[in-house]
Structure 1
Amino acid sequence: MLVSDEHAETLLDEFGRYARDYELRTARSCVEAIAAVERLRAEGSDIALFASDSRLPDADVLVAFSAWRAAVPTARRAIIAPWERFTSDAAPLRLAMAKGKYDAYLLMPRGPRDEEFHNAITDLLSDWGSSVPDPEAITAKIIAPTQNGLTLEIRDFFDRMGMPTRFYAPDSEVARHVLASLPAEVEPDPRFPLVWSVVREPIVARSVSDVARSIYGAPDQVAVPGVVDLAVIGAGPAGLAAAVYGASEGLSTVVLESGAIGGQAGTSSMIRNYLGFPRGISGMRLAQRARNQALRFGTQFFTGWPVRELQPGEPRPGDPHVVRTEVGDIRARAVVIASGVRYRKLGVDSVEALVGNGVNYGAALTAARELDGRDVVVVGGGNSAGQAAVHLARFARSVRLVVRRPSLKETMSSYLIGEIAFTPRITVQTCTRVVDGAGDPLLEQVTLQDTRTGERSTVPAAGLFLLLGAEPYCDFLPESIATDDRGFVLTGRDVPQTAWAKGLPPADLATTVPGVFAAGDIRSGSMKRVAAASGEGSSVVPLVHRWLASSPSVTTP
C-alpha cells in the first residue's frame, strides 16, 4: 500500500520491480488508504507493507500509521520522504521510529537502481514473510492428525533455522505424496508426525532432535579426523562468534549444538539495538548469517545431539579434551563452553502440565502465529520478554506482560519500554506472579496474584509465554571446572585462588581447566545481552591461540 498525495505515481514506478510477487495499491490520503485496507481485508487479502510519504493531506503521518497498524498489525511500515523534505522531517519522525511507531525512515529514490533503498524494502518484506502463518516458499512439511506440543516444537525449530513450514492433515494430497516417498524401512506411526524437508528423506519424528539429526547429521556420521584445534559447545551468539573468528584465523573448528542454531537469541522476533542493524534484525536471521559466515571459513556444525560429558585432557600433558555425545566424540586441543542458559521453570504444577499445549518456555515464534485474535500472557521483565510481547501483539487480541518488579526500568532496555507503551494491545501488570493455569486439553485461563496484597484474579489466556530468567545449561561439565553458587562457570579473577598459577589468575575468559574457556551467558558475571555474548565469543579466540602456542603437542590417534 503506497500512500502519497504528491508522489503516488513515483512510488508506484519505484516499486514496479515487486509487481510480480506483490499486488501494488496506491492511495492519496490516510482516509483513502483505510478504505482500501477495509476492501482488501474483506476480500481476504493480506497487506505486507505500508509505504507512506512523510506528509499526508488529511492526517499526521504518525496518526495515519497508528490507524493502519490497528487495522493490520502484521504489516511492516516505512516512511519514504522526498529528498527536499528528508532532513526537515527527520528529527520528530526518527524519535517516533525509536518508539516502534514505524519500522524505517527512507529517502525516496531519485533514479533507477537505488539498491540501498530496495535493500531496506526487501529486509522489511523478508521480515514480514517470516512471520505469516502460511508462507509461500516451503522448505519443510509436517503431517499429523492434529497440531500438538511436539508439532509446534518442530515448527518452531524450523522457524529458528530459517526454514518456512506448513502443516498438513494425513488425508491431504501432500501427505499422500510424502507417504509414497517414505523409505521402505520406515513405518509410519500415527502417534508421531511425519516430517519432510527439501534436504532429506521424510522421517517419523519422535522429538525435535530427530528432526535436527535428519537434516544436519550426527557426530558419528561426519568424519572428524584426529584432533581439532577448537571445539565450541553451543551455537548461540557467543559460540557462533567464536566459530567465525576461530575458523577465519585458521583454526580447525567444530561446533556442537543440541537444538536450533542461535540459542535463546534465535527466538527473538526483533533485536533493534544490535550494532550495525539500524532497522533491527530478528534473532533467527542474525544466527543464520553468523552460521553461514562460519561455514564459509570451514567450521563444521553438528546439530541435534546434546553434549553428555566434557572430559578434560588429563592426566597426561598434551592429551586432548574430549567432548562426548551419545553417538560420537570430538577430540579438541581447546574447548569454548558457550552452551548458554535455559529459562527458569515456573514450578506451578497445573501450568507445567500444559507445556506444549498453550504454555511455552521462551518466545516460540510458531505459537505466536497460532494465537490470532486470542488473549496472551507473557511473564518476564527482560528484553526477551519485551520483544516477545511486541511480536505477539501483531497477532493476539491482547497481550498482558506480567512482572514481579514494580516497573520495567531496572531490567528492560528503554527502547523496548517505549515500544510497549505505544502498543495499545499490550498491558503491563507489575508486582504480579502466575499461581495457576487451567484448560483441557489446551490452556484457557491463568490465575495471577498481586505480590503486595495477595489478591488473585483469573484472566483468559490461550497462550502463556514464560521468560523467567536464566539457569545455566552445563550439566555436562566436570567437577574440575569451577562454578558459582548458581552453577555459572567461573573465569579469570573470579575462579578460586587455589586454582591460580604462581599467584596469578587465569586469563579473563579461561576456566579452572587449562585449555577450556567460557563465553556468553554461561559465564558467571556475563551481561546477558546478545552484543556482549558476541563480543566474548570473538575475544576468546586470541586466548585460544595463546593456549595452543604454549601447550604441549597433542597426542593423536
Structure 2
Amino acid sequence: MSTPRELPVIVLVSEHHLDLLVDEFGRYTRDYAIRGVRSAAAAAEVLAEVQAAGGQVPLVVAESVLPDAHVLAAFHSWRAVMPTARRLVVAHSSRFRDDGQLLRDGLAKGKYDAFLLMPRGQRDEEFHNAVTELLSDWGSTAADPEVDTVRIVTPVDDTLSLAIRDFADRMGMPARTYSPDSETGRAVLARVQRAEADLGFPVVEAMDRAPVVARSVRDVAISIYGAPSDIDVDSVIDLVVVGAGPAGLAAAVYGASEGLSTVVLEAEAIGGQAGTSSMIRNYLGFPRGVSGMRLAQRARSQAIRFGTRFLTGWPVTELVVGSGGVPHVVRTDGGDVAARSVVIASGVSYRKLRVEPLEALVGRGVFYGAAMTAARELEDQDVYVVGGGNSAGQAAVHLSRFARSVTVLVRRDGLASTMSRYLIDEIHYNPRIAVRPCTEVVDGGGDGRLEWLTLRDTASGASTRHEAAGLFLLLGADPHCDWLPTEVARDSRGFVLTGRDVPKHSWRDGLPPGNLETTAPGIFAAGDIRAGSLKRVAAATGEGASVVPLVHAWLQPGGMTPCSPTP
C-alpha cells in the first residue's frame, strides 16, 4: 500500500485578519494544508520548512500591509524559496482603494499575481473564483497531476514520451509517466491489444480507450479523436477550418453557432502556437491572465457545444479547389473532407535555428516553442530562450519558476521594439531572468542531450561557451501553407494574400476579394497565416470571428452554386 502524499500547503499571512482568512480557506482543507502566520518572517520560516521537507506551496496569500516588511519585498524574498507558488495580495475593505493604488505598479510588473478585496461575508464566490483560478494555474503548470487522463508507460523518458506528454498537457489532459514495472504500468500493458512479438514503448492509454503502442504523437491523437475518414463520405461540410489556433477556434465557434456544419482539422494540439503560452496577461476579459492551453480548451468546449467536430493530429496534405457546383476537397493521410467553404487558419511555425549540432538535439534539451512540459524537468538548471517576441517573454517567465537562471538572447539591442511593455517590466523585475542583446547562438552540444552552448556577440564578434540544460527557440514566423494550391495567391514569404492585398490582375469583375477572402472563391484566411496580420492572439480571434459573415455570404443563394458530393 502506497504512503499518502503530503498535501500541498497554502500559506496565509496577516497580522490582524488571520482568523478570518483561515476560516475562509477552510473550504480547501480536503485538498490542501492551510498554514496561517502573522508576519513575513514567520512565512519565510514556513516556506523554508516545506521546501526542506520536499513539499509544495501552490499559493501564498498576504495581506496588503504586513508588520515587518513591505508586502512586495516579502513576496520577492519568498519567491526565491518557492518560485512556482502563485502570489495573492488581499486588502481589508478599509484599505482596499488606497493600497490598490499603491500596489498597482507591482501587479503590472509581475511582482504578484492578483489583488483582491478580503471577503466580507459568507459565500464570496468572486473571491474564491480568483483563488481557484490561481490554484488551477499552478496545478496545470507546476505540479504532477493527482489524477491522470493519459498514462504513458515507458522504461526511458525519451523524446517521444516527452512529446506525447507535451501534447496531452496542451490538450488539457493530465498525464503521468509510469515504469513498466510499476503497478499502473503492468495494468496498462496487460490491456494492450497486440501480439507478444510487437512489444514496444511507449505504450499510451488515454481517455479510457484501448492502450496503443505509440510510434508518434499522431498515434495517440488518432486513438482519442479518430480520423477524417470517420466523417460520412457522402456528406459535404458547410465549413472546414484548417488549424485550431485562436483564429481557427473563433471561426469554429461563430460558424457552428450560426448553424453551419463545421469540422476543424488540426495537425498538432488544439491552441496552435498560442496554446504553448504559459500565461497571456493582455487578453481582454482575463484580468488575472489565462494560459494559452486553458483559453484554447475553453474555446474548443464552446465550439463543441455548438456542434463542431475536431480532428487532431492530421496535417492537411492538399486542398483541391472546387468549381461549378463541385465542393472543395481537403485531403489528409487519414481521409478526405468535402467542403462548401474553407477557412485557412493553419498559423505559423517557429523558424529553424539552422545550427546542425543543435538540430540533432531537438527534444533532448533543445525545443522549438515553449515546451511547457519540459520546463518541469529543468529545475535548478541554466536555460536559454532565443527570441524577442511575446511568446519568448512568456516562456522566460514560466521557465523562471523552475530553472536556476533564464537568459533571453536577442539579436537586436533590446526588447522594446518587439515585446509588450508588461512583459518587459515583468522580466526586468524577475531576479532569475537576464537579457543578452546583440547575441546569437552559433554552436552547442552534449552527450545525448544539450549540455553547452556557444554564444556570439554580434557587435564585437567574440564567442563564449556556457553550460546549458535547455534551449528554447522562438524565432519568428514561417507560414504553414506548403499544401495550398496555386489558385490561392501568396506573398514572397509564403503568407496568404486576402482582400486588397491580392494583385489587381486576380480581382474578379474589377473588384478585390472580401477582406479575408483569398483568390480562390469560397476559400478564406484568418490569423497569422494571412499576409499583413497582426501577430497577436486577440487579433487572430477577431479575424476568426469576422470571417464567418463572409462565409455565410458565400453560402447564400447566388453566392455559390449548390454543391454536390464528390464522386
TM tier, smaller: over 0.9
The question of 1:40 aligning with 2:47 is answered no
Superposed displacement of residue 544, structure 1: 0.4
Counterpart position of 1:254: 263
Distance in structure 1 (CA, Å) of the matches to 2:433 and 2:306: 43
196, 202, 206: which one pairs with 2:215? 206
Secondary structure (helix, strand or coil) at the match of 2:441 reads strand
Distance in structure 1 (CA, Å) of the matches to 2:196 and 2:564: 42
Counterpart position of 2:162: 152
Moved more, 40-49 or 14-23: 40-49
Q: Which amino acid is the alignment partner of residue 313 of structure 2? A: G
Asked if structure 2 preserves the Cα contact closer than 8 Å seen for 1:133 and 1:370, the reply is no
Distance in structure 2 (CA, Å) of the matches to 1:517 and 1:55: 54
535, 539, 543: which one pairs with 1:536? 543
Counterpart position of 1:304: 313
Counterpart position of 2:431: 424
Asked if structure 2 preserves the Cα contact closer than 8 Å seen for 1:490 and 1:523, the reply is yes
Q: Structure 1, residues 256-305: CA drift from partner, whole Å, max 9, x if none?
A: 01110000000000000000000000000000000000000000111111
Counterpart position of 1:368: 375
Alignment of 1:56-67 (within 5 A): 56-67=66-77
Superposed displacement of residue 95, structure 1: 1.4
Alignment of 1:479-518 (within 5 A): 479-518=486-525
Distance in structure 2 (CA, Å) of the matches to 1:486 and 1:184: 46
Moved more, 162-171 or 13-22: 162-171
Q: Which amino acid is the alignment partner of residue 223 of structure 1? A: D
Identity score, percent: 64
Cα distance change on mapping 1:35 and 1:206 into 2, 3 Å: same
Secondary structure (helix, strand or coil) at the match of 1:25 reads strand
442, 454, 459: which one pairs with 2:449? 442
Q: Which amino acid is the alignment partner of residue 508 of structure 2? A: A
Distance in structure 2 (CA, Å) of the matches to 1:333 and 1:480: 16
Q: Which amino acid is the alignment partner of residue 247 of structure 1? A: A
Q: Structure 1, residues 502-530: CA drift from partner, whole Å, max 9, x if none?
A: 22110010000000000000000111100
Secondary structure (helix, strand or coil) at the match of 1:200 reads coil
Counterpart position of 1:3: 13
Asked if structure 2 preserves the Cα contact closer than 8 Å seen for 1:472 and 1:522, the reply is yes
Asked if structure 1 preserves the Cα contact closer than 8 Å seen for 2:207 and 2:224, the reply is no
Secondary structure (helix, strand or coil) at the match of 1:294 reads helix
The question of 1:396 aligning with 2:396 is answered no
Counterpart position of 1:335: 342
Alignment of 1:133-212 (within 5 A): 133-184=143-194, 188-190=198-200, 192-212=201-221
Asked if structure 1 preserves the Cα contact closer than 8 Å seen for 2:443 and 2:453, the reply is yes
Secondary structure (helix, strand or coil) at the match of 2:543 reads helix
213, 219, 225: which one pairs with 2:228? 219
Counterpart position of 1:286: 295
Counterpart position of 1:520: 527
Distance in structure 2 (CA, Å) of the matches to 1:16 and 1:84: 24
Asked if structure 1 preserves the Cα contact closer than 8 Å seen for 2:106 and 2:112, the reply is yes
Say what the alpha-carbon RMSD is for the aligned residues: 1.1
Counterpart position of 1:349: 356
Counterpart position of 2:32: 22
Distance in structure 2 (CA, Å) of the matches to 1:34 and 1:218: 53
Asked if structure 2 preserves the Cα contact closer than 8 Å seen for 1:51 and 1:80, the reply is yes
Distance in structure 1 (CA, Å) of the matches to 2:512 and 2:412: 37
Structure 1: 5+ residue runs without aligned partners? Answer: none
Asked if structure 1 preserves the Cα contact closer than 8 Å seen for 2:343 and 2:523, the reply is yes
Distance in structure 1 (CA, Å) of the matches to 2:70 and 2:247: 43
371, 392, 396: which one pairs with 1:385? 392
Secondary structure (helix, strand or coil) at the match of 1:264 reads helix
Distance in structure 2 (CA, Å) of the matches to 1:329 and 1:222: 9
414, 418, 432: which one pairs with 1:411? 418
Distance in structure 2 (CA, Å) of the matches to 1:40 and 1:496: 64
Q: Structure 1, residues 157-187: CA drift from partner, whole Å, max 9, x if none?
A: 0000011111112221111111111124586
Distance in structure 1 (CA, Å) of the matches to 2:198 and 2:153: 11
Secondary structure (helix, strand or coil) at the match of 2:248 reads helix
Secondary structure (helix, strand or coil) at the match of 1:245 reads helix
Distance in structure 2 (CA, Å) of the matches to 1:72 and 1:187: 47
Counterpart position of 2:276: 267
Distance in structure 1 (CA, Å) of the matches to 2:438 and 2:380: 27
TM-score (norm 1): 0.98
Counterpart position of 1:94: 104
Distance in structure 2 (CA, Å) of the matches to 1:198 and 1:308: 28
Distance in structure 2 (CA, Å) of the matches to 1:71 and 1:22: 19
Distance in structure 1 (CA, Å) of the matches to 2:198 and 2:351: 36
TM-score (norm 2): 0.96
Secondary structure (helix, strand or coil) at the match of 1:336 reads strand
Q: Which amino acid is the alignment partner of residue 304 of structure 2? A: L
Q: Which amino acid is the alignment partner of residue 52 of structure 2? A: A
Q: Structure 1, residues 92-139: CA drift from partner, whole Å, max 9, x if none?
A: 212110100000000111111111110000000000001224221211
How many pairs does the alignment contain? 554
Asked if structure 1 preserves the Cα contact closer than 8 Å seen for 2:244 and 2:345, the reply is yes
Superposed displacement of residue 480, structure 1: 1.0
Distance in structure 2 (CA, Å) of the matches to 1:180 and 1:502: 65
Distance in structure 2 (CA, Å) of the matches to 1:48 and 1:458: 36
Q: Which amino acid is the alignment partner of residue 339 of structure 1? A: S
Asked if structure 2 preserves the Cα contact closer than 8 Å seen for 1:186 and 1:203, the reply is no
Secondary structure (helix, strand or coil) at the match of 1:428 reads strand
Distance in structure 1 (CA, Å) of the matches to 2:229 and 2:307: 19
Asked if structure 2 preserves the Cα contact closer than 8 Å seen for 1:199 and 1:215, the reply is no
Distance in structure 2 (CA, Å) of the matches to 1:205 and 1:426: 37
Superposed displacement of residue 147, structure 1: 1.2
Moved more, 16-25 or 500-509: 500-509
